[in-house]
Amino acid sequence: MQKLFDGIFSKKNKIYTKNLLPGKRVYGEKLVKIDGVEYREWDAFRSKYCAALKSGLTQSIFFSGATVLYLGSAEGTTVSHVSDIVGEEGNVFCVDISEIAMKKLAALAEERQNLFPIISDAQLTKNYKEYFEKKADAMFQDISQRNQADIFVRNAALLKKGGLGAIAIKTKSISQAKEKLDVLSGEIKTLEKEFEITQVVNLEPFEKHHYLVLVKKK
């Protein structure tokens, strides 16, 4: 096992995180045990952050003990790995608008002591900003909406200065017709209101029409 970033490991071209709850699977992923430590395999086809890691992300936004704001947590596929990375001392606030997706996530949050589920529209930060007495260390967003970048910028107030963020941008949700790079540069312009852009990663072949933009709060 080779350490890639804090809490993220790789072996033979596969990516793993240390299982916070040994013996338990979250979405049918493989579990492997090496030197008495159990790892969960991270599926790049199901998680955009993992796809970005495989596509050459230069910096990881999550670290052990971090407080993370995760927008668009869905059923918790990626969230479970983030939960592994931040560990018991960390906090992951998971915002999603859909009660149905939240059903699975709530069950996950019962088990994993570092997950904080919030059912809310991520555009309405007033619904959850009270929970951030201490600002988040990292912010991640994966929401396929037309105004994705705008939503991210609205949440910027909850991220500490200098904190890292990553946003998965689906160019097809913004415009079907426009050239994807045009769409991307439009979104980046929006992000630049609050962030410095650190890296842009194309997620092909794992996800079509998707980019991950790595940013730093100004």
Partner 1 sequence: MDARVELRKKLLKKTKEQMNEKFAGKEIHIIKAVRLLSDLDSINNLMSENASEWKLREPRGEAADAFTELNENTERIASEKKKLMEFIEKEMDAEFPNFSIIATPVLGAKLLASAGSKKRLCFMPASTIQVLGAEKALFAHLRKKANSPKHGHLFNHPLMQKLPRFKRGKVARIIAGKLSIALKQDYFNGENTSKNVLAELEKEIAKIAAEPVTPKQEQREKVLIEQHTEGAKKETSEKSRTWTPEERRAYFAEKNKTSGSGDGPRQTPFKRNEGNTWQKPHHESRHFGGGGFAPRGERSERPAFGRNENKSKSFGKGRFNKPKHSFMKF
Ligand X SMILES: C[S@@+](CC[C@H](N)C(=O)[O-])C[C@H]1O[C@@H](n2cnc3c(N)ncnc32)[C@H](O)[C@@H]1O
Please say which residue, 52 or 95, places its beta carbon nearer to ligand X: 95
C-alpha–C-alpha distance, residues 166 and 69, integer Å: 11
**Residue number with CB closer to partner 1 (117 or 165):** 117
Q: How far is the CB of 34 from ligand X (least distance, A)?
A: 25
Q: By CB under 6 A, what part of segment 21-60 binds ligand X?
A: 47-48
Contact residue for ligand X among 88, 121, 196, 204 (CB under 6 A): 121
77 binds ligand X (CB under 6 A): yes
Q: Which of 7, 72, 90, 117 binds ligand X (CB under 6 A)?
A: 72
- Where are any strands of DSSP class E within the chain? 2-5, 8-11, 14-18, 31-34, 37-42, 67-71, 91-96, 115-119, 136-141, 159-170, 195-202, 210-217
d(CA 207, CA 43): 12
Distance between CA 19 and CA 172 in Å, rounded?
34
By C-beta, is 129 or 218 nearer to ligand X?
129
Q: Which residues pair with 140 in a beta bridge?
A: 70, 166
Query: 187, 149 in Cβ contact below 8 A?
Result: yes
Minimum distance between the CB of residue 196 and partner 1, rounded to whole angstroms? Answer: 26
Shortest distance, CB of residue 72 to partner 1, whole angstroms?
Answer: 9
Give the residue, chosen from 66, 95, 118, 215, that forms a contact with ligand X under the rule CB under 6 A: 95
Phi and psi, residue 3, nearest 5°: -80, 130
Q: Which is nearer to partner 1, 23 or 177 (CB)?
A: 177
Evaluate whether 17 touches 32 at the Cβ level (below 8 Å).
no
The footprint of ligand X (CB under 6 A) covers 47-48, 72, 74, 77-78, 95-98, 101, 121-123, 142-145
